[in-house]
Each structure stands twice: as structure tokens, then as C-alpha cells.
Amino acid sequence: MIRTIKHILIVGALLLPSLFYGQKKSDLLKRQEKKLLEKIEHTKELINQTRATKKLTLSEINIVNKQIQYRQKLIDNYSFQLRKMDEKIKEINRQISSLTNTDKILKEEYRKMILYAFKNRDPNYKFLYIISSSTFSEAFHRMKYIQYYKDYRLKQIDRIKKTQINLEIKKGEYFEEIKRKKSLLDNKKQEKIDYQKDKNIQIISLEKIKNNEKNLAEDLEKNNIKRQEIAKAVKKAIEKEIRALEKLKKSKFDYTPEGKALSKNFSNNKGRLIWPVEKGEVTSRYGKHQHHLVSTATVDNNGIDITTSKNANVRAVFGGKVTSVLIIPGAGRVVMVSHGEYRTVYANLQEVYVKKGDLIKTKDKVGKLLAKESGISEAHFEIWRILAEGLNTVNPSVWLSK
């Protein structure tokens, strides 16, 4: 009996940690799947908006590429979930086997008890067994044993019932997991079909790019000039702020107590800043580099470009003070927000909701984006830092939340 109870306890103790970890991993994969499905849905919306113009654009190709990446990640996610499901099914099978074995042991022990009780069913047996004791102490212990034996039989019946209930629960979990696995396999199969469709679109689009490379390279150069104009205007505005402070006999922003606190607060949120748009895809990364599609073009970007829905609102990534609202030909309106020794810059705005001197909070709307000919909008976002040796831009991608 003791051996049987130990067996049940040991099996339970071994299963609990692995089940808990497995559940956490499963929840994480489900969250990733949900996020990827949302991203795929958003890229589909953007692609449909760009295709409505019937004009080949790099924005469309970039978004298709992003969609392909998300589809591949989703397929990988499904594959991982399926592997975890197979492990779970094996684990449930092992538990079913263990419970079946325990059930057999309990029933066999109970069978032996019933057989013993049948052989000793004479009602006088218990009385004779007790009075035949040589001492009172022995008689007392024999009486307690008979009572214990009776209780044990009842408990054994209860254990058998509980084991059988657990067995049925595990069998139910097994069939549910099999059903979920089938559904996930169907999802993975459909995702592979969609992935291939997007790959075919990509191949056709890349062929078009080769035929239009010269025009696209000119468009990219125009974008470089526009970014340089933004950088020039932002630098000029920051230098003007510094000169104004120097006239008041104050040091640069990072040396004032208030500036230090703001800088530290902003810096502590590196990698956790919200995105300047609610939904979007980075379609032009930070720095100087050869364009990934147009081989003859070089991109020079002081920030990042985020493709989003037409006329989407832009929001502050962190609380601060609006220090400049600029108008730049080709880049629309530009808003600059101070965070101590840091500045966040929001460009390509057709409308601005804030003015110079306003104190704003994280997520406050700063303006509405211009619409591009391609039928979508593109937010240009930069982060600048004021140091003793001069002004520098930093890569916004490493500052924004993943």
C-alpha cells in the first residue's frame, strides 16, 4: 500500500515542474503567433493601399518583403508549437500509461483484500481473533487492525475512483490536443501557400525594379536630399537653443540639474520607447548604406522611416517639451521635442497639433502625416543627442520597443 501511494506522489511531483514550464512556453508561442498575425494583417492593408495607385513603389516592395519575413516567422512559430504539442501528447500518453498502471495495482490490491475478506467471512472470526490475544495490549492492537483494515478497503475504493476520473480527464486532454494539432497543421499548410504567393509577387516586383532602377535611384536620391534638409534645420534649431542658454549664462542642457534628470530618465528607457506611430513597418533603416533593392543607390538616413496607413497620427515617444516646429519643403512640418540632452524629431507632417513651448506626455499626438503618391504615409523619426563635443544622431531602432 505504502509503495503504491509513494508511486502516485512521485509521478505527480515529477510532472508538475515540466507541465508548468511547458505551459509558460506554450503561452509565449501563442502571444508571438497573435502578434505576427496582427503584423501580417497590417502589411496586407498597406500593400492594398499602395496597389490602389497602380504605380510601382519601393514602399510596396519593402512591405511585401516585411510580410514574407513575418510569414516565415509564423511558419517557424507553428513548427515550434507543433513540436511542443508532440512533446505534450507524449507526456499525456505517459501520464495515461502511469495512471493505467496505478489503476491496475490498486485494483489488484483490492481484489486480494476482497478475496481475503471472503475467505474470512465468518462473523465469529473477528471476535475469536481479538479474544485469542495473550495480553490486553495485543487484543487492543488486533481490534485497531481490524478497524484500520476496514477503513483501508474504503480508501482503496476511493483511490480507484479518483484514478479512473484522472484517467478520463487525461484521455480528454489527449483528444483535445490531437484536435488542436490538426487545426495548427491546417494553419501551417495555409501559411505556406500564402508565403509562396507572396514570394511570387516579390519575384515579379523585383523584375519591375530592375527595369525601373534608374528612376527609383533618382527617387532615393531625392529622399536623401530631403533628409539632409531635415538634419540641417534640426541642427540649426538646436544650436539656436544653445546660444540662447549661453546668453543667460547657463551651460548646455546636460549640465543643469533638471536637464540631467530628464536625460537620465530618457536614457533609462532605451529599448522601451513606444513607436511614433501606432502601427507601422520600418522601411528605411538608420545610417549610410547601399539600398537593399536598388544596387545603384545609397541611402543616407539620420533616423528611420516607418511606413504606415495614409494620414496616420504621429505621437510622442516620451514626455518632454516642444522646442521647435519647423516647415521644410518636401518634408512638410517637423516637430522637435526636448528630453534633457536628447531630442526626438518627427517629420513628414502635414498638420501639427502642438506648438513651441508645449509640455507633452508620452503618447500625446504631435501631428498628422502627409499622404504619399503611393497611397500610404511615411513617418520620418530621428533621435539627437547634445554632447560637449557636438551634436550626434543615434539609431532610433535600438531605442524603440521591440
pLDDT in tens, 74-88: 999 889 888 888 888
pLDDT tens for 41-75 read 888 888 877 766 556 677 778 888 888 889 999 99
Domain residue ranges in the chain:
2-210, 213-398
Helix, strand, or coil here: 47?
Answer: helix
Q: Mapped to the 3 state alphabet, what secondary structure does 142-203 carry?
A: HHHHHHHHHHHHHHHHHHHHHHHHHHHHHHHHHHHHHHHHHHHHHHHHHHHHHHHHHHHHHH
Predicted pLDDT at 130: 52
Mutual orientation of helices 58-119 and 2-51 as an angle, nearest 10°?
160
User: Is residue 127 predicted with pLDDT exceeding 50?
Assistant: no
pLDDT at 116 over 80: no
Q: Which residue has the cell 491496475?
A: 104
What size, in residues, is the chain?
402
Correct CATH for 213-398 of 3.40.50.620, 2.70.70.10, 3.30.450.20, 3.40.50.9100: 2.70.70.10
Distance CA 383, CA 394 (A): 6
DSSP state of 397: G
Model pLDDT, residue 152: 63
Sign of CA dihedral 189, 190, 191, 197: positive
Q: Model confidence over 360-396: pLDDT tens digits?
A: 999 999 999 998 777 789 999 999 998 877 889 999 9
Kindly report whether the global pTM for this prediction surpasses the value 0.85. no
**DSSP characters for 107-153?**
HHHHHHHHHHHHHT--HHHHHHHHHT-SSHHHHHHHHHHHHHHHHHH
Distance CA 379, CA 393 (A): 17
Q: Which CA distances in Å does 256 have to 149, 241, 253, 280, 364?
A: 83, 14, 6, 36, 26
